[in-house]
Amino acid sequence: MAWVGASSPWGFEIRGEGLVCSVDARGVRVTRGRRGAESLALVALLLAPALVLLALGKERAPYLALPALLLLAPLALRFGAMRRWHGAEHKVVEALLLVEEGVEPEEAWRRAKALSPACGTVAVGISLPIALALLAIYPPLAPLAVPLGLFLH
């Protein structure tokens, strides 16, 4: 089963085929979810900034920087909490994948790592230098950095 996760400073959520596992300081909740919704939502989330920049045009896009920084500042203040939840999310997904391969749950949890090569943050890390290169070569192509980073990931 394919598992997709997303973290925040307040917890994380993992979605698989018809299952949603939400974890925060109050506990763990497992519910039924819609099939396929996780992939579409994640792609929309990743493409949204690029689409907004394209819609604004290169003349107005710089004016988005200050509001974006003001919106992201509270998250930056809670970066340590987000990093811990993100690591926990990775460990849970890695353990789930090992259990699907037939490893006993306790052993899967012991072997699971908090760092994952399949993490979307790696794709974003790949996208940043691509975006800088595209900005230097031909700025209108810069929004293609995220899809290209996902493809190369």
Q: Is the dihedral of CA 52, 57, 61, 63 positive or negative?
A: negative
pTM summary value: 0.60
pLDDT at position 3, please?
Answer: 79
pLDDT at position 73, please?
Answer: 63
Please provide the DSSP assignment of 79-114 as one string: HHHHHHHHHHHHHHHHHHHHHHTT--HHHHHHH--S
Strands across the sheet containing 19-24:
4-8, 11-16, 19-24, 27-32
pLDDT at position 58, please?
Answer: 66
pLDDT of 122 higher than 80 = no
Q: What is the DSSP-derived secondary structure letter of residue 3?
A: -
Among residues of the chain, what percentage have pLDDT more than 70? 71
